[in-house]
Amino acid sequence: MSMSDYRSGPGRPYDGRDGRGREGTGPAGEQARMTRAEMRRAAQAAGRRAGRRKAGAGRRHAGVRDGRSAPPGAKRFINYPRADRRGLRRWIPSWRQLLGIFVMSFGTLTAGVGYAYATTQIPDINPSTQLQDNIFYWSDGSVMASVGQVNRQNVQLADVPAKVQWDFLAAENASFYTDPGIDPQGILRAVYHMASGGAVQSGSTITQQFVKNSYLNQSQTVTRKLREIMISLKIGTKMSKQEILQGYLNSSYYGRGAYGIEAAAEAYYHVPAKDLNVSQGAFLAATVNEPSVLMNADSDPQAKQAATARWRYVLDRMVVIHQISAAQEQQYIAAGFPTPVAMSTNGAMTGQVGYLVQTAGDYVKTHLNINDQQFNNGGYQIHTTFDKNKVNELAASVDKMTKQHLDPKHRSADRNVQAGAASVDPTSGRIVALYGGPGFDKQHFTNNADTKGVPVGSTFKPFDLAAALDHGAVLSPGQPPSPITPASKFNGDNGIKIKDQQGNSIQDSNDPTGFLHQQNDTSTQWGYISLRKAMEQSINTPYVQLGEYVGYSDVENEALKAGLLRSSLQYDTAGFYIGTSSPSAIRMADAYGTFANSGIHHEPYSVTKVLKDGIQQPGFAAPTGSQAVPSKTAAAVTDVLRSVVKSGTGTNAQALGRPVAGKTGTTDNYKSAWFVGYTPQLSTSVVMFKEDPKKAGLQSMVGVGGMAKVFGADMPTEVWTGYMTAALKGTPVKNFPPAPQLGEGTSENGAPSPSPSAPSSAPASPTVTPSQSASSSPSVTSCSQLGCTSPTPSPTDTSSTGGGTGGSFGGPPGGGSTPTPTPTPKKPGGAPSTG
């Protein structure tokens, strides 16, 4: 091949240019010469072109051979995964692809919202906003009260002061007059929380809340929220902002059963809405946020604290949005929180009816799992357990005692003295009567029958005794529990040092000696006396020491099984065993009813049937009973409590003229006085205490009724006897089950050994023959003979120095030597002197 042929390439004549397109530079007529590198590159390029032509020919030939035509060379419509990338980069969208996805998503969302908006219709006003009464019935089926939202008056927006209107806007939706009816950021936050199961958040504007109140319902679902949004967007085209705000103010719930700002102004300040000031309006705006709590700002310190904080928030917001100045805010703050007037009621809620309606209403709301607002929407027919005659008889007995003993106009000690009472059928748990106070119409809104802040004193001691009968007591360190009976003797002297199960003296930082020395109500030195005698005379020291030997857990569980609530029980202190806990009168009557009913406990209940719009609601069947306390234990406790009435502090209850078991209770410094007693048919508790409604905390009742000391044996027992006489009139006299034969039991170390012929101090029951009396019962020498529970000792436990199973407050798990006695610290708070 000539140089000319090489330079020009196969089939191409030489054009006089070099390999890079430049004119030849050699002599005229002489072809330009290529460098060695240029010749190599030219050869490589020629080889690649030849390879491509050969491969194309091969593909065409293959297509012909298999009957298919060669695919076109066009690119894919969506290049994903990306064909021009390798590895991970194939799966990373390009910016063009991302932009396309965003545009498509936004377009789809816009179209969806547009379609939803176009198809959404503003519904008619929800009929459920037309409130109904709730009707309560006595146990005989007659109407007790009709309670509903009858005090709802709609007002024009012009009747609400402009600054009060802005109180609500500042609290809920400051951009109301400029927004489209929704708050997108708030909506997204609320939808996220609801969809994820988190706390419900409104995220709602004034318009949305008006739509929810008037056109939809209170359900917290995403579907309802989306409807609310669409209607809120559309309703702005049908109604003016002023009409929407007027509808919101008239449809909102403010607590105290008040729907609408006019009813709220009357309920909280006894003024029409047009006379509200900015400070009062700020509080009303706050109530919409949490009505069931803030409605009690006049009487509940915690509610007032929450209301004050929210009120300050609204005023701060008023300054931020320039509706009042900072100086004006300071004037309102200096004037103080606008405390609402005491809650009033209609005429139907006079006397005890208010407390009965409140008790039954709370029971319904709990069992239907509905809130105040849902319940107050009305439509419920509530059949209660309350016996009209017994309620009136209980109130009459309290009134009689009050008129006879209390003279608050002439004796300052008698002022602010209060009473509460409850009566329960022990065979079913039905609450047949309550006394909650003078009445809602007398501005007394706290239900004293359900108060939880009044210590029960010595009326708690029967639970100590029941626990000791069931579980025994660790009388010797390291030994298993010994059997206890009412005849077991303990030291009744005043001021004795209290020990725990390990024999250690209990520490008390309030005692000058550093150790707990329990006091009785009197300085009498009783010596070692039986638990029966200590119960009769309400002596503290034997029962505090017994409780420590039995153990806090066993005593607490005994009280819980009988019917008390854990939330009302005091923590582990020596005073726990003689009544520092504060169960309600309802719970005390119910728990004593467990003893009256042979140990079978029924939960107390106040509602038998509920209908909503004529349809019976589930969940209101009578609670079933359970054997909470062994029947033998219940009978033994009843027998001891009969001794209290026969020859102890409860002798005033003998006036009933029937078999009665009961216990008096008086707390330290006479701050409360109780009598709880029962017959087989009825268990009733009565409590008296003194509390200034303007100052939290119980006050001493010294001097009340002209008495130097007020005991449960006095005025409370008088109320109890008067009521029970009337309530049981015409019913047959029933006896309690016979007392079990428990024998002498085991006494505290140091007690004198009983004489073999010494009779028991137990009185003979009318239903027990002399041969069955406790005095002829054999001595009990083992816990198993009593039926009490005790750990089975290991072989090493037979030694007097062997380790036991450990007491309720800890100790060696078994085996080994007895630990060296050391003072055991106790939680602060020694036992008060109670009677």
Nearest to 672 by CA among 707, 703, 710: 710
Q: Give the C-alpha separation, 1 to 20, whole Å.
A: 21
Q: Give the C-alpha separation, 424 to 420, whole Å.
A: 14
Half-sphere exposure of 6 (CA within 13 A, CB side): 14
Give how far Cα 443 sits from Cα of 305, 337, 404, 693, Å: 21, 21, 23, 11
Return the number of other C-beta atoms located less than 10 Å from residue 781's C-beta. 13
Three-state secondary structure along 309-356?
A: HHHHHHHHHHHHCCCCCHHHHHHHHHHCCCCCCCCCCCHHHCCCHHHH
Whether 684 and 604 have beta carbons less than 8 Å apart is answered as: no
Torsion over CA: 83, 87, 92, 96 (sign): negative
- What confidence score (pLDDT) does residue 799 get? 30
- What confidence score (pLDDT) does residue 107 get? 74
- What confidence score (pLDDT) does residue 493 get? 97
Q: Give the C-alpha separation, 459 to 461, whole Å.
A: 6
- What confidence score (pLDDT) does residue 781 get? 37
What single-letter amino acid sits at 571? Y
Nearest to 434 by CA among 604, 218, 603: 604
Nearest to 194 by CA among 154, 166, 222: 222
Whether 582 and 454 have beta carbons less than 8 Å apart is answered as: yes
Nearest to 284 by CA among 148, 170, 441: 170
Answer left, alpha or beta for residue 141, where phi above 0 means left and psi between -120 and 50 means alpha: left
Return the number of other C-beta atoms located less than 10 Å from residue 512's C-beta. 7
Q: Give the C-alpha separation, 246 to 470, whole Å.
A: 66
- What confidence score (pLDDT) does residue 443 get? 87
Q: Give the C-alpha separation, 291 to 299, whole Å.
A: 14
Whether 502 and 821 have beta carbons less than 8 Å apart is answered as: yes
Whether 152 and 133 have beta carbons less than 8 Å apart is answered as: no
Q: Give the C-alpha separation, 394 to 423, whole Å.
A: 9
pTM for the predicted model, two decimal places: 0.64
Counting as low any pLDDT under 50, the low residues of the chain are: 1-21, 23-30, 61-70, 199-202, 755-787, 789-831
Q: Give the C-alpha separation, 171 to 310, whole Å.
A: 9
Q: Give the C-alpha separation, 18 to 25, whole Å.
A: 9
Q: Give the C-alpha separation, 147 to 161, whole Å.
A: 30
Q: Give the C-alpha separation, 14 to 27, whole Å.
A: 16
Residue whose structure tokens are 């799992």: 369
Q: Give the C-alpha separation, 487 to 464, whole Å.
A: 14
Residues 6+ apart with CB under 8 A from 489: 528, 529, 530, 531, 747, 748, 751, 752, 754
Residues 6+ apart with CB under 8 A from 9: 42, 46
- Using DSSP bridges, classify how beta strands 661-666 and 380-384 pair: parallel, antiparallel or unpaired: unpaired
The residues with which 570 forms a beta bridge, in sequence order, are: none
Q: Give the C-alpha separation, 490 to 527, whole Å.
A: 8
- What confidence score (pLDDT) does residue 605 get? 98
- What confidence score (pLDDT) does residue 770 get? 30
Half-sphere exposure of 9 (CA within 13 A, CB side): 17
Whether 289 and 254 have beta carbons less than 8 Å apart is answered as: no
Q: Give the C-alpha separation, 606 to 362, whole Å.
A: 10
Helix axes 552-562 and 461-471, enclosed angle (nearest 10): 110
Whether 747 and 489 have beta carbons less than 8 Å apart is answered as: yes
Q: Torsions phi, psi of 180, nearest 5? A: -80, 10
Q: Give the C-alpha separation, 488 to 491, whole Å.
A: 10
Q: Give the C-alpha separation, 459 to 678, whole Å.
A: 13
Give how far Cα 213 sits from Cα of 56, 210, 320, Å: 76, 5, 28
